[in-house]
Every structure is written in structure tokens, then in C-alpha cells.
Amino acid sequence: MSSSALFEQEIRQGLRGRDFIVLADYTPEELRYLIDLAIELKQIQKSGRRFQPLAGKSLGMIFEKSSTRTRVSFEVGMYQLGGQALFLSRNDLQIGRGETIWDTAQTMSRYLDGIMIRTFAHKTVIELARGATVPVINGLTDLAHPCQAMADYQVILEKKGHLQGLKIAYIGDGNNMVHSLMMGAAKFGMHMSVATPEGYEPDRDVAEMCYEQAAQTGSSLKVMHDPREAVTDADVIYTDVWASMGQEEEHAQRVQAFKNYQVNDELVKHAKSDFLFMHCLPAHRGEEVSESVIDGKHSIIFDQAENRLHAQKAILAALMG
């Protein structure tokens, strides 16, 4: 066996049984292995072939936040891998009536081969993972959205042919999405500029962690307030809603704060001519992005959405296989 094959086998063995909570927990090599696996699984699915390493296995899916892409992609992904997925809302579980996360995790681990959770507080995922004896996957928290970021980096690799050295410009709120994108950019040696209004910057601890990782991979990460500066010479422009789930009461205030941060035809003129436009969806057309951009020739939003299926299948197969 070649040294590269041995290295890949070592990575594969090292992933089995792990949790997937934030990208920072994984090495650049492990993340790239997962992306390459996602691309391979996508090719298998497109060819009509079957690959079912999770036959007979079950994934519990806890949803405390509503979802379109997360629920459908995980449920279909488990089916395609030969397993089954159980949808569990907060009202379906005893945690809605006061049972501790620890007791829930311990109990569900006796029935399931893996748990995915989409929730508000990041500490909920941490507590669930501490109590569980099966892999726990973060489907979204207020701090991070790692599965979406993996799908995003997969599609950038597919469109551009490489990751290292590319520049991503993120325009908007310093939320869970930008945190995961920053973690990924730092791991892959990419350059990232984040433009956000004062008071809406990414979490300081997350940013510091990303700066430290970036120093090791040759990446550069910058947080600024000028969207034009951020998108200058960008290979990718990314945005997200100005008010995330749970922030609806702040919507009017945020619309005012972010009024100069819309991604529109005037702003994207400063990016590279072959830039990609990305949005994790759902989008509020006419707010964070103009219809002309989100529906334009540079937009790859539905490629991103599709890759949620393939990226998550890679995570499921690697952790639960």
C-alpha cells in the first residue's frame, strides 16, 4: 500500500465515531478528505449506483429550529446510504418537559447510531455530545453552521478547481454562518474579508481562534466595515439574512443598520469578473441581496443547497460507517 493510501486509511479510521460540532475540531487534511468523499458520493448518486455503508443504522434528528434543507438533506442522505432517519421535534422529546440533555443523550445512544441536532444554544450540542456515546452532528447552532460550510467549500472546489489562495468576501451579520466560513477558510489556506456594521462583528473568541489557525496555513482573515473594500478582487461573495431565526424582533433595527450592506450590481463590480455569488438560504430578496445578483449568472445558491446532501452524506458515512 502506498504512503498516500496509508495516510488516507489513517484519516478514515480517525474519523469513525467522532462528533462533528465545529470545523475547528478537524485538521485541514480531515476536512479535505470529507470534501473529496462528498464529491465521490455525489458522482455515485448521479450515476445511479448504490452505496449503502449505513444499512441497518439509524440517525436521530433533533429539531428545536425549523428547517427545509437540513431536514430533507439528512433524511434523504441516510436513506441513500442505506439507513433510516427519525425526525424528533422538541415536543416529541422529554427535554421539552425538563429531562436533562445528559439523560436524553445517554438514552438515545442506546437506540441510535448517531444524533443530529439543530438548535439555538451551542452549549446544547456540547452537552449532548458529552452525554452521548454515538457521534453527534451539529445541524446548526447560534454559534456555528459547519455542515453548510462543508457544502459551500465543496461547491467552491468544484467550480474553481482549488481552495488555497482564493478570496472569499462575506458581507453582512457576524453570525453562525460567517463563523464556520472563517474556520474553513483558515483551515484551507484561503483569504477571507468580512464586512459588517459596527456592533455586528463575528464573535471575538471565534475570530481569535481563526487568526491562530490562519497563521499556520498561510491564510489571511480580515474584519472590516467597508463592503467595497471587502469584495475587491474577491473570487467568492457570500451573504446571509440580516436577522437570523430568533432575531425577528430586531428585524427593523437590523434593516436600518445593514442598509449599506446589500450585495447588488454596484457592489459586485469590484469583485473578479468570474466571481461566484453564494447564500446559504433562505434569502430575503431585496434586503441582503438584490434579485439581479441572486438570480444572475454568477449565483450558485442551488448548487450549494444540493451539496448539503452530499457533504452530509460524507460526514455520516465517515462518522457512523
The residues that are catalytic are 118, 145, 148, 240, 280, 308
End-to-end Cα spacing for the chain: 22
Query: In Å, how far are 184, 191, 199 from 163, measured between CA atoms?
Result: 10, 10, 30
Tell me how far apart the alpha carbons of residues 272 and 167 are, in angstroms, rounded to a whole number. Answer: 10
Beta carbons within 8 Å of 40's beta carbon, 6+ residues apart: none
C-alpha cell at 61: 434528528
Tell me how far apart the alpha carbons of residues 11 and 187 are, in angstroms, rounded to a whole number. Answer: 16
SS3 content of the chain, % helix, strand, coil (to 5): 50, 15, 35
CB of 173 within 8 A of CB of 288?
no
Neighbouring-strand partners of residue 191: 167, 220
Tell me how far apart the alpha carbons of residues 54 and 80 are, in angstroms, rounded to a whole number. Answer: 9
C-alpha cell at 179: 463563523
Query: In Å, how far are 122, 143, 159, 305 from 138, measured between CA atoms?
Result: 9, 10, 26, 17
